[in-house]
Amino acid sequence: MVTSRLPQDEIDRAVEALREGEVIAFPTETVYGLGADAQNPDAVRKVFELKGRPATHPLIVHIDHPRVLERWALSVPPAARALAERFWPGPLTLVLRRAPAVDLAITGGQDTVAVRVPGHPVAQQLLRAFGSGIAAPSANRYGHVSPTRAEHVREEFGDAVRVVLDGGDCKIGLESTIVSCVDTVPRVLRPGFITLTQLRTVVPEVQGRSDADAPRVPGSDVKHYAPSTPLSIVNSRTLEEVVTQLTSEHERVAVLAMRPPRVANKFMTWINAGRRADLYARDLYVNLRALDKAGAREILVEEVPAGEAWDAVRDRLHRAASAENVVAVDPDIAALRADFGEDLGQ
pLDDT, residue 327, reads 52
The average pLDDT across 7-34 equals 98
pLDDT over 60 at 19, yes or no: yes
pLDDT, residue 341, reads 36
The domain limits of the chain are: 8-200, 231-342
pLDDT, residue 190, reads 95
Integer Cα distance of 52 and 32 in angstroms: 17
The average pLDDT across 23-36 equals 98
Share of the chain above pLDDT 70, in %: 90
pLDDT over 60 at 181, yes or no: yes
pLDDT, residue 16, reads 98
What tens digit of pLDDT does each residue of 292-344 get?
999 999 999 999 999 999 999 999 999 999 655 555 544 444 442 333 333 33
Identity at 131, one-letter amino acid code: G
Integer Cα distance of 245 and 239 in angstroms: 10
pTM of whole model > 0.75? yes
Q: What are phi and psi of 180, to 5 degrees?
A: -85, 130
What is the full DSSP assignment across 99-117?
PTTS-HHHHTT-SEEEEE-
Element (H, E) at 26: strand 24-26
pLDDT, residue 337, reads 34
The architecture in CATH of the region 231-342 reads: 3-Layer(aba) Sandwich (3.40)
User: What's the whole-number average pLDDT of the chain?
Assistant: 91
The architecture in CATH of the region 8-200 reads: Alpha-Beta Complex (3.90)
pLDDT, residue 329, reads 42
**Worst-scoring range by mean pLDDT, 161-175, 216-230, 282-296?**
216-230
pLDDT, residue 238, reads 95
